[in-house]
Amino acid sequence: MNSLFSTATDSGMSKTTEWRRRKRKIEEERKAEAHAKGLPTPPKKRMVYSCRICKKPQTKETGHSQYFGQTYCPNEPGQIPREEWLAKKSAERKAKKAAQNKDLL
C-alpha cells in the first residue's frame, strides 16, 4: 500500500516511529556509557524558549511568567506589574468558567 502521501519509510514503519526508536537508542547508549564509567545517569536537557518580545530566555530570572499558556514579559511596552497581570488573568479565567457553567445549566 504505497500511497503518494505515505509517511512510511523504506523499513515500512512511520517516520515518527523510526525517529522515536532512534532517539530512544541514543538515550540508552548515553545511560549505558555513564553506567559503565560509574557515573549517575545524565539529566535530560531542557529546552529554553526565547521570548518573542525581548528575545531573552523565558525564565523567572528574566522576569517572565506563564499562566495557562499565556506568557508575561516584563519588557513589553506598557506592561503592568507581574502580580497585577496574574490577578487579572486569574479573574478572566474565573469569569470565563462561570459563564461556561451558566450556559450548561
Instruction: Report pTM.
Output: 0.56
End-to-end CA distance of the chain: 50
Grid cell of 58 as nine digits: 523565558
71: helix, coil or strand?
strand
18, 27, 45, 47, 91 from 84: Cα distances, Å: 47, 43, 33, 28, 11
- Could you state, in order of their start, the residue ranges of all structural domains in the chain? 9-40, 64-104
Q: What is the pLDDT along the chain (105 residues), one digit of tens a residue?
A: 455 455 566 778 889 999 999 999 998 998 999 999 998 887 877 788 999 999 999 999 999 999 999 999 999 999 999 999 999 999 999 999 999 888 777
Q: How far apart are CA 38 and CA 34, in angstroms?
A: 6
Residue 48: what residue type?
V
